[in-house]
Amino acid sequence: MGESPAPVNVRLVNVTKQFAEVRAVDNLSLDIRAGEFLSLLGPSGCGKTTTLRMLGGFEEPSTGSIFFGEKDVTGLPPYRRDVNTVFQSYALFPHLSVGDNIAFGLRRQGVSKADAAQRVGEMLELVDLAGLSARRPAALSGGQQQRVALARALVNRPTLLLLDEPMSALDAKLRKHMQIELKRIQSQVGITFLYVTHDQEEALTMSDRIVVMNQGRIEGLGTPREVYERPQTDFVASFLGASNLLPGILGSATQGYYDVEVTGGHRLRVAAANVAEGLTASSAVQVGVRPEKIHLVPSARAEEAGTNCLRGVVRVATFSGVGNQYLILSPDGRDFTVYAQNIGDALAPRTGDEVEMRWPVEHTFVVRPSGTMTNEGE
């Protein structure tokens, strides 16, 4: 795909956006690495779209700065930024043909008609829409419109491509297909993608890194695996996938492990690497484990080293084809969710059975209360 400008990092430095009464983005700092696929994930109203709009130039930060490489773009209008956007509803120009839609940005930048036509042709090829150049957007399906929106943005070879929930209007099957397509196109063009979504699966499948946002702040940042396996806050632990979280007090470190005193008198062991940053001994924390990491064993079985265990009674057992989902009631009255894959286990527990929940210490994590992340994203 032609020569792209030298990729540069995009940095948000202490960016805050205050609307009349709402602080949509709260002192956010983030480095977007050149060429990466970064997702901003969070519930609606978490500030992810405002962040995207500030990067695009549609909103100006109340305080803080945005840099493209060394260049401060904070006050620049959208048309003077090297950024393009794929809008949620595509926002294709209804009075222009597909080809003219894609050529719009090039023509405004002074690219000649002939050169623009050639690049439009290449783009249509890339997004698999060759031959549809003369159509009007209204004559295309939702998936095709989305490809046009993508082509219209990509053809300008921006420093940063912003994607604002571009899949939300597609049906589930098409969405899956487009996820793969998008990833292919991204690796082909090598442009930095910032993908805004509230769909965690989308974020996990496509991203190089994920930023989890809540209430205008970054709650977690890292590769999909890091963010999933070692969530930093209770918000991330329960927003991204599901987690069983127990309140407790962090003990002191011994040989790379911490003990957490859980309310109810139990003690759970956790690897130091899985303890959220910035926590010290005797802080109030939550200790967690993902439902799929827990094994259910008959309660009489001998203890194993390197595992945490808790007793409980099966309250609900649900069969879902690929697996079983259990609700286990612990003696201190807490419900645990457990997923077990359906591997034909004849000993699968039934409602009312006494069981022991066991999970490896490595899969135990300790999170901070939400909203306390202060360090800036690397």
Residues in contact with other proteins by the rule CB under 8 A: 56-58, 77-80, 83-85, 87, 89, 91-95, 104-105, 108-109, 152-153, 156
Q: Quick one: which of 312, 315, 314, 317 has its CA closest to 330?
A: 312
Q: In angstroms, what is the minimal distance from the CB of 124 to other proteins? A: 17
Nearer to other proteins, 103 or 250 (CB): 103
How far apart are the C-alpha atoms of 127 and 185, rounded to whole Å?
Answer: 8
Q: Tell me, what DSSP letter sits at residue 362?
A: G
Alpha carbon distance 274, 276 (integer Å): 6
Structure tokens at 226: 């890091």
Burial label for 233, CB within 10 Å (0-12, 13-18, 19+), is buried
In the complex, what is the shortest distance from the CB of residue 88 to other proteins, in angstroms, rounded to a whole number? 8
Q: How far is the CB of 87 from other proteins (least distance, A)?
A: 6
Instruction: Determine the Cα–Cα distance for residues 65 and 366; give it in Å rounded to an integer.
Output: 33
- Min separation Cβ 66 and other proteins, Å: 15
Of 191, 199, 197, 222, nearest in space to 31 by CA = 222
- In terms of CB distance, is 80 or 350 closer to other proteins? 80
- Least CB distance from residue 202 to other proteins, whole Å? 21
Q: How is 49-90 classified by DSSP, letter by letter?
A: HHHHHHHHTSS--SEEEEEETTEE-TT--GGGSSEEEE-TT-
In the bound state with other proteins, the residue whose beta carbon lies nearer, of 104 and 359, is 104
Length of the chain: 378
140: tokens are 């295309």
Q: C-beta of 73: minimal distance to other proteins in Å?
A: 14
Nearest CB to other proteins, comparing residues 85 and 286: 85
In contact, 36 and 178? CB cutoff 8 Å: no
Nearer to other proteins, 2 or 321 (CB): 2
State how far the Cα of 246 lies from the Cα of 103, in Å rounded to an integer. Answer: 55
Closest distance of CB 78 from other proteins, Å = 4
Query: Rounded to 5 degrees, what angle do the CA atoms 239, 245, 246 make?
Result: 155
Nearer to other proteins, 151 or 285 (CB): 151
Q: Which is nearer to other proteins, 94 or 256 (CB)?
A: 94
- Partner residues linked to 294 by β-bridges: none
